[in-house]
Amino acid sequence: MNSISVEYAKLVLQENGYCTENLWSIHDVDSKLIAMGFNANSIPNDTKLLLLGRSLKNEATMEQIWLGIESELDAITLYEYDVYARRCSVTGEGINEGYVIGDDYLSDSVKGNIELGRRIKEVGYNSREESYENNFHFYTEWDVVGEIESGQSDVYLKNGTELVKDGDVWRSGNKIYLIKLNDD
């Protein structure tokens, strides 16, 4: 197998959730056989694969892998984040309540209210009441937990960072966020 097809195979495996940073091969078995004083060429490759497979699946190896995973988890700090269903078009912050104007969301902040007033006047309404009665804008609250449970695939941190659902975790670029949802 050439190196291009090995690299392609690694990519396919990674895309399907497999770790390919430390793949073992019959060449590793060869190295160990030579270190133990054996002639590596005297043992068929299928036998080397059998030895390698049994070695990687034995109970002691599996226990070491589980211990390594636990150790790595202990080494990182897991944070809980408040998440928001929408991002304010003006402030860029995550929001769970605010004004909706077309496809834009505005927080009920000073900046959001100033922008709301500007847009209402821009289209010719004389007041917020007139704008609201003509369905130009409305105020609402979003239930972020309910939306996530119903399949929403993105949420926002307070600073506006977008998190996209990837399996059981949320990602932003190369960072992973573990989110605990509270119903209160």
pLDDT for 55: 92
Coil vs helix vs strand at 184: coil
pLDDT for 82: 80
The pLDDT of 136-153, averaged and rounded, is 86
- pTM score, two decimals? 0.54
Give the C-alpha separation, 55 to 75, whole Å: 27
**Token pair of 156, please?**
């926002």
On the question of pLDDT at 177 being above 80, the answer is no
Percentage above 70 pLDDT, the chain = 89
pLDDT for 126: 94
For residue 14, name the pLDDT band (cuts at 50, 70, 90): confident
C-beta atoms surrounding 129 within 10 Å? 10
Give the C-alpha separation, 136 to 123, whole Å: 9
Coil vs helix vs strand at 144: helix
pLDDT for 47: 93
Coil vs helix vs strand at 86: strand
Q: What is the pLDDT of residues 46-72, one digit of tens each?
A: 999 999 999 999 999 999 999 988 877
Q: What is the pLDDT of residues 86-136, one digit of tens each?
A: 999 999 999 999 999 999 999 999 999 999 999 999 999 999 999 999 999
On the question of pLDDT at 33 being above 80, the answer is yes
pLDDT for 83: 85
| Residue that wins the pLDDT comparison between 4 and 38 | 38
Every domain of the chain and the residues it spans:
3-75, 86-177
Q: What is the pLDDT of residues 151-172, one digit of tens each?
A: 777 888 889 988 888 777 778 8
Check if the beta carbon of residue 91 is closer than 8 Å to that of residue 111.
Answer: yes
For residue 79, name the pLDDT band (cuts at 50, 70, 90): low
pLDDT for 6: 84
For residue 2, name the pLDDT band (cuts at 50, 70, 90): low
Bridge-based pairing of strands 154-156 and 162-166 is: antiparallel
